[in-house]
A and B are shown apart, each in its own frame.
Chain A
Amino acid sequence: MSSKVRIFTTPGCGYCSQAKQFLTEKGVEFEAFDVSSDKDAMQEMRKMTGGARSVPVIAVCDKVLIGFDRTELENALKCLE
Chain B
Amino acid sequence: MVVYTIEGCPFCEKAKLFLKEKGVRFKEIPAPFGSSEWKQMKEKTGSSSWPQILIGDSTVGGYLDLVSMEATGELYERLNIEGRMLDTPLYDVIILGAGPAGLSAAIYTIRKVLKTLIISKDLGGQVTWTSDVENYLGFSHVNASDLVARFEDHVKAFGVEKIIGVEVESVDLAGKIKKVYTDDGRSFLGKTLIVATGGRHRPMNVFGERELVGRGVSYCSTCDAPLYEGSAVAVIGGGNSAMEAVLDLMSLASRIFVVSTTPLTADPIYQGKVKKSPKVEFFLEYEPSKVIGDTVVEGLEIRSLKTGEVCTLEVEGIFVEIGIMPNSSIFIDTLATNSTGEILVDSECRTGVAGVFACGDVTTVRYKQVVVAVGEGAKAALSAYNYLINQR
Contacts and interface: CB of A to CB of B under 8 A. Distances in A.
B226 A36 contact: yes
Contact of A55 (B183, B224, B248): B224
A71 B129 contact: no
A12 B295 contact: no
Contact of B223 (A12, A22, A42, A52): A12
B227 A14 contact: no
Interface in B194-213: 213
A16 to B, nearest CB: 7
Contacts of B128: 14-15, 17-18
Contacts, number: 75
Contacts of A15: 122, 128, 220, 223
Interface string B140-170: 0000110010000000000000000100000
Interface string B113-146: 0000000001110011101000000000000110
A55 B124 contact: no
B224 A54 contact: yes
B226 A10 contact: yes
Contact of A14 (B165, B223, B296): B223
Given A53-B317, A71-B165, A12 B215 contact: no
Contact of B215 (A13, A14, A52, A55): A52
B238 to A, nearest CB: 22
A51 B211 CA distance: 13
A51 B213 CA distance: 12
Contacts of B218: 53-54
Interface of A: 10-18, 22, 35-36, 42, 50-55, 66-67, 70-71
Interface of B: 122-124, 127-129, 131, 144-145, 148, 165, 183-184, 213-216, 218, 220, 222-228, 248, 295-296, 316-317
24 contacts: A10-B222, A12-B131, A12-B226, A13-B224, A14-B124, A14-B128, A14-B129, A14-B145, A15-B128, A18-B123, A18-B124, A18-B128, A36-B226, A51-B215, A52-B215, A53-B215, A53-B224, A53-B296, A54-B215, A55-B227, A66-B214, A67-B214, A70-B165, A71-B165
